[in-house]
């Protein structure tokens, strides 16, 4: 059995109240007493039981993090940003994968509630109503990361997907591209996909770029789906001069498809992504894409949550993380 506060008290010849005060650095303790206690702590190897402490204090220093799928690089980066900041601020993390599965997500919320989490970060493709309802009941400080609470109850931290996608279209248009293909993820199942779609189509409109339905396809952000979608597009009689992919995974899949068709990137077809990943930068040719600072997305969410927990006023209902176009080798200038 490991040492309890009682054991330390006995060894030091004081009450458990005094031991507690020493452990928690409450001032007014006689230096000699303190010394005795510290000595007893050392001898017993005592570490306070955080569970007992939490029960008394009604706080756990634990944050529930529900993430779509830790395995996807985009989310992995976000989660690392969250973990680093939260751990710096003295919090620890219970992590669950939601997989956009309502049951898993609700179970995670119940867990966070029962575990008395001091705060919650929800990271998913979109923010569903059933989770909002749970949260309303739970009444725990919560930040929505990478999607948005449309009711405005919970603050959110998101990418500047609309703007970055718009700029990307403008960028390739400036290089002479008018025949533009677009492989996006389903826009009704993902907030990112919706915003990226909105940005792309707005730019099409403003720049008078015709939409060719033959060149539009929907994947699911995986490499394989990018490959499949590109195959479909390349099977049409006329081919686009560039394909925009909703993320770099799909761009990498599309690249493979293009090469398999005996075409070259960017000589025959240019390729861009809308969310830069390390592997996109190391691909040959490297993928021109958008750096969304995923790590910062997580870090900012964590800082915001930490403020909310300490009752600091958080005025922002929505923080939009900036972005940057990362120029790779996958785009050719036309004429």
Partner DNA sequence: CTGAAAGCGCTTACAG
Note the residues at the interface with DNA (CB under 7 A). Answer: 4-6, 14-18, 20-21, 23-24, 26-30, 32-34, 46, 48-49, 52-53, 55-58
42's contact among a copy of itself, DNA, none, with CB below 5 to 8 A by partner kind, is none
DSSP string, 278-315: HHHHHSSSPPBEEE--HHHHHHHHHHHHHHHHTT----
Question: In a 10 Å sphere around its CB, with 0-12 CB exposed, 13-18 middle and 19+ buried, how is residue 54 labelled?
Answer: middle
Residues 60-119 close enough to bind a copy of itself by CB under 8 A: 60, 62, 69-71, 73, 76-77, 79-80, 83-84, 87, 92-97, 110-111, 113-116
- Which of residues 104 and 170 has its CB atom nearest to a copy of itself in the complex? 104
Binding mask 148-187 for a copy of itself (x = CB under 8 A): ----------------------------------------
Question: In a 10 Å sphere around its CB, with 0-12 CB exposed, 13-18 middle and 19+ buried, how is residue 312 labelled?
Answer: exposed
- Which of residues 17 and 211 has its CB atom nearest to DNA in the complex? 17
Site for a copy of itself contains 45 (CB under 8 A): yes
- Which of residues 123 and 195 has its CB atom nearest to a copy of itself in the complex? 123
- Which of residues 109 and 254 has its CB atom nearest to DNA in the complex? 109
164 touches 199 (CB < 8 A): yes
Question: In a 10 Å sphere around its CB, with 0-12 CB exposed, 13-18 middle and 19+ buried, how is residue 237 labelled?
Answer: exposed
297 touches 145 (CB < 8 A): yes
- Which of residues 138 and 207 has its CB atom nearest to a copy of itself in the complex? 138
96's contact among DNA, a copy of itself, none, with CB below 5 to 8 A by partner kind, is a copy of itself
18's contact among DNA, a copy of itself, none, with CB below 5 to 8 A by partner kind, is DNA
* Cβ density class 7-46: b for 16+ within 10 Å, e for less: bbbbbbebeeebbbbbbeeeeebeeebbebbeebbeebeb
Residues facing residue 321 across a β-bridge: 159
Site for a copy of itself contains 2 (CB under 8 A): yes
334's contact among a copy of itself, DNA, none, with CB below 5 to 8 A by partner kind, is none
Question: In a 10 Å sphere around its CB, with 0-12 CB exposed, 13-18 middle and 19+ buried, how is residue 174 labelled?
Answer: exposed
* Residue closest to 102 by CA, chosen among 126, 138, 78, 85: 126
Q: What angle do CA 141, 143, 144 make, to 5 degrees?
A: 145
198's contact among a copy of itself, DNA, none, with CB below 5 to 8 A by partner kind, is none
- Which of residues 278 and 318 has its CB atom nearest to a copy of itself in the complex? 278
Q: Using CB under 8 A, which of 157, 168, 223, 244 touches a copy of itself?
A: 223
What minimum distance in Å lies between the beta carbon of 210 and a copy of itself?
31
Query: Reduced to 3 states, what is the DSSP secondary structure of residue 205?
Result: helix
The residues that touch a copy of itself, with contacts defined as CB under 8 A, are: 2, 45, 47-52, 54-55, 60, 62, 69-71, 73, 76-77, 79-80, 83-84, 87, 92-97, 110-111, 113-116, 137-139, 223, 227, 252-253, 255-256, 259, 278-279, 282-284
């Amino acid at each position: 059995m490991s040492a309890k506060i009682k054991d330390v008290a006995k060894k030091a010849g004081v009450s458990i109240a005094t031991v507690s005060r020493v452990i928690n650095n409450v001032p007014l303790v006689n230096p000699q007493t303190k010394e005795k206690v510290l000595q007893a702590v050392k001898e017993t190897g005592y570490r306070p039981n955080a569970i007992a402490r939490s029960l008394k204090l009604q706080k756990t220093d634990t944050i529930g993090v529900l993430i779509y799928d830790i395995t996807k690089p985009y989310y992995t980066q976000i989660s690392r940003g969250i973990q680093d900041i939260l751990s710096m601020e003295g919090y620890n993390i219970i992590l669950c994968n939601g997989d956009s599965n309502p049951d898993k997500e609700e179970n995670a919320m119940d867990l966070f509630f029962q575990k008395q989490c001091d705060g919650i970060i929800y990271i998913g493709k979109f923010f569903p109503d059933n989770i909002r309802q749970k949260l309303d009941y739970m009444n725990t400080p919560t930040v929505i990361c990478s999607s948005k609470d449309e009711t405005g109850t919970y603050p959110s931290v998101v990418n500047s997907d609309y703007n970055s996608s718009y700029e990307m279209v403008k960028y390739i248009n400036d290089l002479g591209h008018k025949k533009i293909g677009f492989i996006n993820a389903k826009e009704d199942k993902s907030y990112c996909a919706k915003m990226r779609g909105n940005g792309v189509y707005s730019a099409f409109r403003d720049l008078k770029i015709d939409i060719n339905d033959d060149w539009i396809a929907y994947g699911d952000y995986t490499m394989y789906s990018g490959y499949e979608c590109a195959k479909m597009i390349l099977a049409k009689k006329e081919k686009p001069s560039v394909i925009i992919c909703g993320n770099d995974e799909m761009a990498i899949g599309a690249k493979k498809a293009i090469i398999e068709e005996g075409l070259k990137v960017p000589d025959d077809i240019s390729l861009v992504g809308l969310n830069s990943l390390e592997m996109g930068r190391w691909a040959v040719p490297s993928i021109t894409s958008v750096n969304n600072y995923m790590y910062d997305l997580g870090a900012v969410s964590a800082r915001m949550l930490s403020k909310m927990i300490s009752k600091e006023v958080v005025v922002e209902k929505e923080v939009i993380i900036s972005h940057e176009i990362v120029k790779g080798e996958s785009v050719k200038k036309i004429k």
